[in-house]
Structure 1
């Protein structure tokens, strides 16, 4: 293997050939309950690199697995050979002028494609639940579907063209006539054999009819044999065989989809039935109604979410056996939507219901209903025992068989002791998921699971002729059962297809084709308890939904990967083993480069904030000296700030002598271009007239100043508050006060809470026990105090107070130049995107919120300590800066420092934009 690694390092940049133990473990983890640790991870950015890595692996006879996002639930993205990780160079997207087609690379996230298509009123057809994290490569390779796309709009049926690299290094682009012609010449034997297989199937009426029948419902078990009956041209056959092939036949380097309409007018209804049979009979009737989604939830799944915030009270009162359907219908206009709702209600009136159904078009109410559905899977994961894993499987049967099948599944769960199991899914397609928990660390539990799987597969095949896998791909869990579902003749065809494309069996071996009847019971992922410092970490199912939110993903580790590493360290500690190299690497990759922004929790199905784990581990690792210094700083915060101002002043002096580039290099990137000057001690004196509001200038704003005192943050906030008719009151002694955020991020929890308590006492006195609103000028501090105070005091972030209270009172003159805004992680977690955007739009004609920039990675002090994190988090920002942009606005001072350095544009608090535009409005009014 060392020879292969050296060869890879000669071909790829060294940093993209990953061999350290920590990242091999972390990248060798997907959303499934399997684990294989790769010998090497190769990060590739273009087709040529993929081709060369495959060739090198072939020359050393090592297996190759391609990995996009790794959200796979079935083990398709793990290997003990060469893991080829798709880099950002493969995240391409090109939309046709009319939006009818979109050409996408395998590394772009599905939701990002839809975001770009949205202005044209269209989207891609596949809509897996993981679309916010899943990438096109995985969506196409697994033929993933979801709640609305059914079979008509999946990747197979909306494929316009495909570009693939085969195991022998050859390339076929079906959108390029020259490429097709060359391939027909160079691979005549392969195409000839595909044509012969197709002709043979079509001549066999029984086999042909069976294949057509199997694809009347969702089916991703085995290879897409329907390609052999749906097409005559072997190039078309090859293209469609690639869909659902799970990286076992070749590498999909580009897909062109025919897009589908995305209607803006939507309505949803949550409808309750007395039993499963009634609900499923209604599903059969709804098949011909104008519905876009019909989701089934059994009584167990409804019970699992009944106590969650915002759930309908009826969920707690339903009798055993009650079943719900969540129905969505859409239309190109409000009138069309009304007609469709009426048609659906007319169909529902034919069935017994617990209460009269009603549609809503209110977006918030629709979200609440769909939260019932989305909360089912995490509800099981959240209550499982430490050390167990969550298993989710998906099957499909004909819609008339759905009720009987669901009842059989419930009996099967009870017989095997899976009493927590729930059933939900895409009823309109006869496609349901079931979820239960499993302990793979106990031999008897593995045997129980094996017996369950055997009985499940036999039931589905013999009684219902159903699909063992409906939309998640075959994977390792069902590979041993492919022949059971399809029969010997069809399975032999699949084996021949594998041999035709990959005769050496080096592309993702063991997935789809696997003759080991026990393969689904091997390489099971351990899930050691690791929640001693932060209990929620044990709820992590390693799905990867968190990754697109994380600023360090792709630099070091993502939240899921941090948890994977921490679980292994916890296992070693419990076993009395040394942490080794993995433990050493975790200090930087796991701790130092975590921004602790908490955005992972906003995407996590079970709400885990990996930053909280990082803070706890940082605190555990603090030396006695570091703890002592933390206490000294907390107890002498005014002096600490004075020292920081002195250091900042010294930095500017050094910059004047050495220049910015040299000083930045000498400080390892800690010194930034455009670094603010120190803010002089003292505070602005507010006026005494107007509606009283308590204003607390946060410590970053008190330390970092502006070119002139009147442009300092606190002075600007006071000026704008007064202009809006408020009388801001700044408490005494603020130089010694802090919300505690800076201490919490370093793991100094006690000191952080102490500072928060000090601030609470001061704010309570200043606000007369909450009589007056309290405004903080940094979103990170606002979030901290909101969480610390709960409902005890009315604390407002400057963004929300400006939106809710200042906008109605201010006259604003709009800027004609475009402006940028940055929704920092704390504002994002407080759901202020709409408010920040509306503030900016009230002040400027053109406002840009870069969609692919989440947390800036500055993380309080991370931008100074590990500046590469800030640079990595903002690497995509430059592409979204509009021509003629005059600057950017946010609501965290340190974030603004990093944004200024990254773009060369001045970033300031959003209050500066309000100040400028309200001042200009007053000037114009006086003319």
Structure 2
């Protein structure tokens, strides 16, 4: 419940911005208020903004009422800079406009585009943005710029500060400025004359102070995000350049970033990487120093050098994709992951040889080996990026994971690293590991921390004191190299920079934000214990998700990420429910939170499990939702499920009748009247009646008694129950049903087709398991396994299922060693070599289902599509379609939300293909193109050899 000023703010702001983008309830303020850091503040209001006018209205009102505002992009920040106990403004995932310069030299990006999306936009032109944080698939542009995030390869030469062209900003009083527009700058100069004069004066004062100027230049040769970007006062004369470069790394404390224009950088396709194993960390660090110095002298070309100490290697040595010999290394071996990039393969070979020569003097634990294989080096980098979450996965439940982010001057890297390891032992952080961007002297160290007792909090405080003394005082390094100051290091900014520089930072803050409403307590914070306050609990909730450290890597692939909750947020709420249920006096509150969670957490989860593919430790929140659905199954529902299980053929017959009746009614009434009638009935029923669409299939029956010749080339064809029941829609332009098309294609390839016995009663069990009916799902799965064993002569013949999700369910559930295929892999392994393919000239688009992605078939689907068409469109911003089996009928808003970006991505396509009927229903509805099975395309462009 809101009170006082916050209620007044709410009452006034709803007159200016839509009420539906404002959240004040316990569920959403907790879920949306959580970021990747180990701090927690729960906001009074969360507002999801979609444009700068909304930001302006919020800031003007907040400024007048002196209420603090914190900005949030993706919430992957690790230092506590994106949380608030006041008003939290989140940039909507729909705020994703962009514009590329005609010569591709720069790109303008809205704040909610992820770094990966920006690079996908630029990829066709062999360009990319400079910053490349490990969280690039999740981190948004607004946050990347606000934190001056760098990453693996960009160093200090290609970070946001160095590649910034211009910005569009909203200041604390609502004033807007476009630093790339002369009219905007002229207007700002009129209204903010004293502001700009003060900036010029601050710059002059810094430049006149030779000692401080020298210190600033030296510190920003390293990666440094501690405090404000004081280098802006040294590097530039123009006040607008000073202004916009101060915004970089300011963590939302000076202004809101509504657009960033970056200079683009070359993205060389020829790359090679090597995991180089040194006898110890000292030897590895000395090698880094040599590589850095030789790079500076242009003797070698090296783009990245990532350090992984022995503890880091140990955390991933059990990964089946890692070399087995890592387990045999002694306790001192340290690895460097080295990458070099070139304009051509010939240049790449030269660069590899130069690096190899440079490293000859060092003692290696394994022979040096560079790989150009994309799959191999991508795996190296994937493992490196997953080191931080991987540590979180093995922590004791209830503890948190701390990742600190420092930089030593490169000449002191070895010495500083050894002393840092000494501090681990001194303070008994025996599990701590070190990794990081060693070429820049930038190290991350990770350890687990229990904050449940004062003794443990004090241990952390003592350790941090010693670390800050080592890094900032003894070696004059950076306490925060790239993760931003946040609450984590705000108490130590003055220690690192000294009083004169810190006072200048205070002046900058006061100049930009005189009422101190923008993210107070971040960067400037005089509370010397701020780093050990507002600590976030991570209580146990369910074994399926307890490993989660709330990093947020899962969020971009989730189909409900703009509709309700993301996987991270579902875990946050489940943890809070578990915490409340453990406290007798909070049982009522736990029950209320459960009720709030039902729609956002359970009903609108697609259970696609794509989150597990983005999660570095494979956490599957879809499995949690299935578990919770199972817990909610009533005895009556269980009885109904039993009836359906035991009378499955009759159930399908009923479905066919219903589909035929709906189609007949549609034929009589027409699309417009039918749509209006069913929408009205759905509204009257409180959305209990499923939504009708013109893309709803007709009811069909299949005939497995087909004419064919006996052949030694045999295949078992199991048409899924969906494709035995649902045919083409009235909107489809295809003439044959999928079953008939598949049969024609298989016979064209020379196969004799075997159908399982009693096929009308067979099902993989997924319709049951997705709703929590695990017992019934197993019964159907076991029946199907028995039938397929018999049909395939105990695995002698390959088995084709025409629906990818069903195939994956079979693979997961069966105990027999059957040769199971879905359409993509079957086509590549058993069809294309038996057919003559002729590419069509028309543009096509494909959608890889969640199941296919999890089976590793996305690239194979692209390969197959390219065999059949000269132009293949693969939408980069569409992952799960959100139809979720039959959930798209009952919760069409989930489907619509997931496919919101699809129409603009496929506007040039004439044909569209996938491998799941239900997915194709939703895809057709929201794209305006008729989606069908990929078998239609293969059949269309092939003939028998």
Give me the TM-score of the superposition, normalised by structure 1: 0.97
Of residues 337, 341, 356, the one that matches 1:330 is: 341
Q: Deviations over 1:651-704 (max 9, x none)?
A: 223333443322441335621122110012643536243311111111110110
Question: Does the C-alpha gap of structure 1 residues 743 and 874 become closer, same or farther in structure 2, counting only changes over 3 Å?
Answer: same
- Deviation of residue 916 (structure 1)? 1.9
SS at match of 1:423: strand
After the TM superposition, which residues 813-892 of structure 1 pair with which residues of structure 2 at under 5 Å, given as runs?
A: 813-883=838-908, 885-892=909-916
Match of 1:34 in 2: 39
CA distance in 2 between partners of 1:769 and 1:703 (Å): 28
Q: Which moved more, 1:667-676 or 1:65-74?
A: 667-676
Match of 1:508 in 2: 519
After the TM superposition, which residues 361-372 of structure 1 pair with which residues of structure 2 at under 5 Å, given as runs?
A: 361-372=372-383
Q: Judge conservation of contact 1:803–1:836 (CA < 8 Å) in 2.
A: no
Of residues 617, 625, 649, the one that matches 1:614 is: 625
Of residues 267, 270, 274, the one that matches 1:269 is: 274
- Deviation of residue 541 (structure 1)? 0.9
Q: Deviations over 1:293-326 (max 9, x none)?
A: 1011111111111111111122111112111111
Q: 2:694 aligned with 1:673, yes or no?
A: yes
Q: Judge conservation of contact 2:389–2:549 (CA < 8 Å) in 1.
A: no
Q: 2:920 aligned with 1:915, yes or no?
A: no
- Deviation of residue 24 (structure 1)? 0.9
Q: Deviations over 1:70-129 (max 9, x none)?
A: 111111111011111112453121111221111111111111110111111110000000
After the TM superposition, which residues 778-797 of structure 1 pair with which residues of structure 2 at under 5 Å, given as runs?
A: 778-789=803-814, 792-797=817-822
Match of 1:801 in 2: 826
Match of 1:560 in 2: 568
Of residues 3, 8, 12, the one that matches 2:8 is: 3
Q: 2:557 aligned with 1:549, yes or no?
A: yes
CA distance in 2 between partners of 1:414 and 1:585 (Å): 46
SS at match of 2:149: coil
CA distance in 1 between partners of 2:213 and 2:759 (Å): 79
CA distance in 1 between partners of 2:698 and 2:653 (Å): 13
Q: Deviations over 1:4-34 (max 9, x none)?
A: 1122221111211112211111000001111
CA distance in 1 between partners of 2:594 and 2:341 (Å): 52
Question: Does the C-alpha gap of structure 1 residues 821 and 686 become closer, same or farther in structure 2, counting only changes over 3 Å?
Answer: farther
Match of 1:395 in 2: 406
Of residues 452, 455, 468, the one that matches 2:466 is: 455
Match of 2:758 in 1: 733
Match of 2:675 in 1: 661
- Deviation of residue 59 (structure 1)? 2.4
Q: 2:134 aligned with 1:134, yes or no?
A: no
CA distance in 1 between partners of 2:365 and 2:579 (Å): 50
Q: Which moved more, 1:129-138 or 1:641-650?
A: 641-650
Q: Judge conservation of contact 2:289–2:413 (CA < 8 Å) in 1.
A: no
Give me the TM-score of the superposition, normalised by structure 2: 0.95
- Deviation of residue 624 (structure 1)? 1.2
SS at match of 1:711: coil
CA distance in 1 between partners of 2:829 and 2:940 (Å): 19
Q: 2:717 aligned with 1:695, yes or no?
A: yes
CA distance in 1 between partners of 2:838 and 2:218 (Å): 65
- Deviation of residue 247 (structure 1)? 0.2
Q: Judge conservation of contact 1:163–1:173 (CA < 8 Å) in 2.
A: yes
Match of 1:286 in 2: 291
Match of 1:518 in 2: 529
Match of 1:103 in 2: 108
Of residues 886, 890, 900, the one that matches 2:924 is: 900
Q: Judge conservation of contact 2:702–2:739 (CA < 8 Å) in 1.
A: no
Q: Judge conservation of contact 1:24–1:40 (CA < 8 Å) in 2.
A: yes
Q: Deviations over 1:348-390 (max 9, x none)?
A: 1122212321211111221233344234223211111111111
Of residues 230, 236, 249, the one that matches 1:244 is: 249
Q: Judge conservation of contact 2:785–2:816 (CA < 8 Å) in 1.
A: no
CA distance in 2 between partners of 1:855 and 1:461 (Å): 46
Q: Judge conservation of contact 1:663–1:671 (CA < 8 Å) in 2.
A: no
Q: Deviations over 1:25-61 (max 9, x none)?
A: 1000001111111111112111111101111212222
Match of 2:3 in 1: none
Of residues 257, 261, 264, the one that matches 1:256 is: 261
CA distance in 1 between partners of 2:704 and 2:579 (Å): 52
Q: Judge conservation of contact 1:386–1:529 (CA < 8 Å) in 2.
A: yes
SS at match of 1:752: helix
Query: How many residues are treated as equivalent by the alignment?
Result: 917
CA distance in 2 between partners of 1:715 and 1:101 (Å): 51
After the TM superposition, which residues 370-449 of structure 1 pair with which residues of structure 2 at under 5 Å, given as runs?
A: 370-449=381-460
CA distance in 1 between partners of 2:247 and 2:903 (Å): 35
Q: Judge conservation of contact 1:673–1:900 (CA < 8 Å) in 2.
A: no
SS at match of 1:268: strand
CA distance in 1 between partners of 2:503 and 2:571 (Å): 41
Q: Judge conservation of contact 2:571–2:621 (CA < 8 Å) in 1.
A: yes
Q: Judge conservation of contact 1:710–1:716 (CA < 8 Å) in 2.
A: no
CA distance in 2 between partners of 1:664 and 1:422 (Å): 59
Question: Does the C-alpha gap of structure 1 residues 260 and 141 become closer, same or farther in structure 2, counting only changes over 3 Å?
Answer: same
Question: Does the C-alpha gap of structure 1 residues 777 and 463 become closer, same or farther in structure 2, counting only changes over 3 Å?
Answer: same
